[in-house]
Structure 1
Amino acid sequence: MTKVKFSPSLMTMDLDKFKEQIEFLNDHVDSYHIDIMDGHYVPNITLSPWFIEEVRKISKLPMSAHLMVTDQSFWVNQLIDMKCEWICMHVELLDAMAFRLIDSIHEAGLKAGVVLNPETPIEVIFPYIELVDKITIMTIDPGFAGQRFIESTLQKIVELRKLREEKGYNYVIEMDGSSNRKSFKRIDEAGPDIYIVGRSGLFGLDSSIKKSWEIMKKDYNDMTGKVIE
C-alpha cells in the first residue's frame, strides 16, 4: 500500500450532503482544504472561517485554509483566532508582509504555508523559504474549479523536492488544481506530498461519496501503478 496524502477541496463538495460526505471522508483523508475567496483577488466568493467552524463540529482532521484574498492580514488574523491548523497565503500578495505574517502564525502555534500561481517562479519565496511549513503549487489559475491542467507547473514541484533535500528544509509540497485520472500519472512523477482533489478528481465522480472515493482510488491505481491505503 502507498501512503498518499489527499486533501479534499470542500469548495467542490455537495453541500446538500455536507454531513454525510465529511463523516465518510474523516476515515480516509489526511486534512481538508478550505478555499477562502473574497471576490477581489479572484472573481468568486466562496468559503469563510465560519465554514471551518462548521466542519469542526463533525471532524477532528486538520484544516488548511487557502487565502485567495487581497487583505491577507485581515483573514490571517481571523484564522489565527480560530486556530486553523494551516494558513496558506498567496506569495503574489505578500510584499512587505511575509515575515510578519509567517511569524504571527508560528507564534500562535500554527503552520504557515505559501501558494504560488502557475506563472510565479519559486525564486520569489527564497528570502523566507526556510520559515514555511508548506508550499502549494497551483497547477491551474486560481479562482475557479475545473480549469485546464498546466503541466509545466509540475517542474516547480521537482525543483522544490531537490531543494528540500539539498538544504534540509522541512516544508511539505502540495499541488492544487485538476488532480484527476488524466493528470495523476504526471503529478505522481513530480512527487508532491499532498494532492488536493476537487470536483473532477473526487466529488463529481458519483452521487455517492463512497463510490466516488472508490473510483478515485482506482483511477490513481490505474494511472500510477500504486495502491492507496
Structure 2
Amino acid sequence: MANKLVAKIGPSILNSDLSQLYEESQNLLDNGADYLHLDVMDGHFVPNLTFGHPIVKCLRRKIKDAFFETHMMVSKPEQWIENMADAGVNQYTFHVEPVEDVPLVCRKVQEAGMKVGVALKPGTPVEVVVDYINMADMVLVMTVEPGFGGQKFIEPMMKKVAWLRTNYPSLDIEVDGGVGPSTIHACAQAGANMIVSGTAVTGSDNPGKVISSMKDIVNSEIIKNF
C-alpha cells in the first residue's frame, strides 16, 4: 500500500490551451506530485464539460513517463475505454452509478491494459463495492459532489474510507474533493493512501511545500496505524 499524492487536472483546461496544460502538469510533477489525476466530464453525468482522449493523447506525447489516471465523470464510461487506453492512460477510474454491469466494465478496462478504479459519489453506499472489489485496483471515495472544484470537504465520507480500510487492508483508497492541509489529517487517519488535491496545491504560493507536507502526514498515519 503506497502513499501517493495526486495532482488534479480538471476544469481549468476550459480556460487553457495545451501548452498551458502541459506546463501546469509538469510543474506539479516537478513539485512532487506522484501522478496526474485527469478529470474527464461529459456534461451529462455532471453538468460541467472538460476534455477527452485527444487532449490526453497530446499531453502523453509531452509527458512520457508519468502515471496518468483518468477520472471518468461520464454517463457511459464503457464508451471511452479503448480511446483512453490508446491515449496512454494507466488507470481508468469510472463512476459506478450510471453503470448497469460494473464487473463487465472492469473486465473491459483490464483487457485494454489499464488498471481499474471504481468511484463512489457521496450518496452511494460504500458496501456496493463488495460485488466487484476483487476486480478493482483502487476505490475512489468522493468527498464532494463530482463535477465542480472548490467545494467544501464532506467529513462523513471518512466513514466510507475507514470501512474500506478495515475490510480491505491492502486496498488503494483514493479521496478527491476539498482535500488540503486542513482536511488531510482526517483522510489519513481514516486510511486513505491516495490523495487527490487540486485548489489547495495549484492555488498555493509554494505547491511543493503543500505536497510534501500532506505526503508526510499520510505516510505517518500509514506507518502508525496500517
1:84 is matched with which residue?
89
Q: Is residue 137–residue 174 contact of structure 1 (8 Å, CA) maintained in 2?
A: yes
In structure 2, relative to structure 1, the CA distance for the partners of 1:219 and 1:36 (3 Å cut) is closer
Alignment partners' CA distance in 2, 1:226 and 1:45: 37
Q: Is residue 4–residue 34 contact of structure 2 (8 Å, CA) maintained in 1?
A: yes
Give the letter for the 2:128 counterpart.
Answer: V
Alignment partners' CA distance in 1, 2:11 and 2:195: 15
Alignment partners' CA distance in 1, 2:219 and 2:137: 29
Alignment partners' CA distance in 2, 1:183 and 1:117: 18
In structure 2, relative to structure 1, the CA distance for the partners of 1:40 and 1:80 (3 Å cut) is same
Alignment partners' CA distance in 1, 2:160 and 2:183: 16
2:27 is matched with which residue?
24
Alignment partners' CA distance in 1, 2:78 and 2:52: 15
| CA-CA distance at 1:47 after TM superposition | 2.3
Give the letter for the 2:9 counterpart.
Answer: L
3-state SS of paired residue (1:136) = strand
* Runs (5+) with no aligned partner, structure 2: 222-226
1:203 is matched with which residue?
202
1:175 is matched with which residue?
175
3-state SS of paired residue (1:115) = strand
Q: Larger deviation: 79-88 or 189-198?
A: 79-88
Q: Deviations over 1:153-211 (max 9, x none)?
A: 0111111111113xxxx541100101112211211211211100101x200113xxxx2
Q: Is residue 117–residue 138 contact of structure 1 (8 Å, CA) maintained in 2?
A: yes
Answering whether residue 136 of structure 2 is matched by residue 132 of structure 1, we say: yes
Compute the TM-score of the two structures, normalised by the length of structure 1: 0.84
In structure 2, relative to structure 1, the CA distance for the partners of 1:171 and 1:49 (3 Å cut) is farther
Candidates 61, 67, 71, aligned match of 1:66: 71
Percentage identity across aligned positions? 29
Alignment partners' CA distance in 1, 2:83 and 2:190: 34
